Structure 1
């Protein structure tokens, strides 16, 4: 049996887009949105511990040192890098990090002031076309990088993947029976270009599997 030291974090998740990497993450202050609320209330935020675990050797890497008032997001795999968002509430700064899976070097892919972010709600990095996005007040979907876009979506929609100019959302309904739909929107206009029952999953080799 291989023993992996994950600093007390007892749950691993696969990194989307690769079969070689897993991650472990602490949520002592909740997610980024909850941490943002704590900091705005004048309370100190416990820093996020993010660990990247390579398969099959089990080597553990901590790409960013855990610091007070700093939150890190879940990673995705893109072009050989494990990419994730980081918010430093004390420095009022948002970064997109890229950890090279081969040479294990960390780079800052993008940096912006926190006051340019509408809200930290669902703020995260997504692949395949790498993108930093979140949801602002109401039902506004916000793209912050690599371009700036904003448009309205349904309350039940959740964004999960981008490929070129196609944005993939999953939506759920209870009318009265529960069902799910896959919604594809155009990145330039936000308009729906496809809407089909079912869902889509991104496999470790990058393939898209439609289920429905």
Structure 2
């Protein structure tokens, strides 16, 4: 029976939502591996909307779920309706939406807070001993989601690594094509576009993360 993975998105677009290449590469690798997936996102307003041509904020409001539906080709469900019991694992792509719409790290740094529905959903996988993968900037949520001494990577950025340490996590530097595995928490992280200079380079670590999450499902089932 095919394994089914929940993919938690935060919008659509690197500057205000889920990073598009990271998301597509994740879905591609899952499909290549014979796994099923379901995209999920909170049904709420984005923190703000960024013009991806200019990098400037736009004077409009958009919905996280509606924007994420672009990436999922419409096949997406509201986070409020998602149940951990329906999945074997969970993956969170990066993009600034992870640091703006799933939590407020982009604004508050180490003093950040995470959306309660995100906390409950991710922790439900942890409590059920199911693997979770996070990439790019998303691992900043690891200490609050998995507890003190949980191990992760965002690459080699010293300021973000310091914030993770300040929140009680353990950061390990990793190259773009590498992953960081915390076997105690069944947690896998990779730098992706925190370091990647192009889509092929990003694919190496992302594919490795997906492979490890799927391997963990087989190992612990």
Same fold (TM over 0.5): no
- Structure with bigger helix share is 2
TM-score by length of 2: 0.32
- Structure with bigger strand share is 1
